[in-house]
A = this chain, B = another copy of it.
């Protein structure tokens, strides 16, 4: 493959009749070039199809312009929505996104971060998994910024963006009670990530305060199939729940489908359901699901803003943490109170 056919600044310089530095300066914002030489350089560059080699530029500037996105479960609606927003905003900020999928194999977040280091990424944004502390340290030591989204970690250095999961659990418990629900349940996956557990704890705490017990069941991943299984487990109980908070929308979709098509239940008349994420499918009329919206845009904005600002390198040992609010999107899966 090594076919050295990319045109270099040297060739442009020769064609334009200027020095190589002049070419470089033409493509460096704020450098000192006369209008005349700039024009000649641009003409020559256009004619030859020249594009600055960002690998070499990154080498000199010690700033590659690359931001590494570390993700698993990309095919999941919430993840892909967040990914979309992040990439758009990164591009607007003049960065370029490098994508590392950690779906397969173990220790993969660490390996992903090593990949980021090898390409001298300016920063890494971690959407899934939690890196080993040693790797995190190495990243920070190398001047690489780190953003953790919905991964509640206590290491200093990275920016941590989280939601008010606990409070959300409380708000939805109130809604169930207002709707007249008597038996509440929380449908969770076995993943046990802090955000999921936060929703669970908040829901239980609030329900207890309101004088109701909560049945908790955990199974599998956070997907549709797990939701079906959870429905089968919960809806066959002696005391059947009539208000179920599902930890994610995908779980809720599976839960609702099983409740309707296998148990013949009518939603919201016989069963109230709520979810979390506000994926696109939640608004489809088959589900019409009341849920909490992930503030996808705000998350991306916060992350990119922090990166663009250089990540507050003046105070590197500070604990940087942002808490965003998940807004309740009221649809038709809970009776009006």
Chain A, interface size: which category? 35 or more
Interface residues of A in 37-66 (CB under 8 A from B): 49, 51-56, 58-59, 61-64, 66
User: Interface stretch among A12-20, A97-105, A205-213?
Assistant: A97-105
Contact in complex: B63, A1 (CB < 8 Å): yes
State the Cβ distance, A93 to closest chain B Cβ, in Å: 13
**Is the C-beta of A88 less than 8 angstroms from some C-beta in chain B?**
yes
Report Cα–Cα, A141/B98, bound state, in Å: 24
Q: Does A10 contact B (CB under 8 A)?
A: no
User: Is A36 close to B, CB under 8 A?
Assistant: no
- Set B88, B97, B114, B120: member contacting A6, Cβ < 8 A: B120
Given A75-B80, A280-B224, A54 contacting B119 (CB threshold 8 A): yes
A81 interface residue, CB < 8 Å from B?
A: yes
Assembly CA distance A66 to B61 (angstroms): 20
Q: Which of the residues B2, B104, B258 comes within 8 Å of A88, measured between beta carbons? A: B104
Chain B residues near A88: list those with CB within 8 A. Answer: 101, 103-104
Known contacts being A84-B75, A285-B261, is A2 close to B56, with CB within 8 Å? no
Residues of B within 8 A of A53 (CB): 59, 118, 120
- CA–CA, A117 and B55, complex, Å: 10
Q: Which residue of B lies closest to A58 (CB)?
A: B55
Q: Which residues of B contact A117 (CB under 8 A)?
A: 6, 51
Alpha-carbon separation in the docked complex, A257 to B4 (Å) = 55
Query: Any chain B CB within 8 A of the CB of A96?
Result: yes
- Contact A87 B74, beta carbon cutoff 8 Å: yes
Oligomer copy total? 2
Chain B: minimal CB distance from A42 (Å): 15
Q: Are B49 and A138 in contact (CB under 8 A)?
A: yes
CA distance A3 to B141 in the complex (A): 10
Q: Which residues of B contact A2 (CB under 8 A)?
A: 61-63
Chain B nearest CB, measured from A94 CB (Å)? 11
Measured CA separation A63–B87 after assembly (Å): 25
Cα separation A66 to B55 with both chains bound (whole Å): 11
**Contact call A81/B75, Cβ cutoff below 8 A:** yes
Chain B nearest CB: distance from A248 CB in Å?
Answer: 14
User: B residues within 8 A CB of A155?
Assistant: none
Contact B104 A100 (CB under 8 A): no
A59 touches B62 (CB 8 A): no
Q: CA separation between A310 and B3, bound complex, in Å?
A: 11
Q: Which of B1, B49, B56, B97 contacts A143 (CB 8 A)?
A: B1
- Residue A277, interface by CB 8 Å: no
- Closest beta carbon of chain B to A136's beta carbon, Å: 12
- Between A and B, 12 residue pairs with Cβ closer than 8 Å are A5-B143, A52-B118, A53-B118, A53-B120, A54-B119, A55-B120, A79-B80, A80-B80, A84-B101, A96-B98, A97-B98, A253-B284
CB-CB nearest 5 A-B residue pairs:
A80-B80, A3-B143, A87-B101, A2-B62, A286-B286
A-B contact sample (18 more), CB < 8 A, given A53-B118, A55-B119, A253-B286: A2-B61, A6-B120, A6-B143, A49-B142, A51-B114, A55-B56, A55-B58, A66-B98, A74-B83, A75-B280, A77-B80, A88-B101, A96-B100, A97-B98, A98-B99, A99-B99, A224-B280, A286-B286
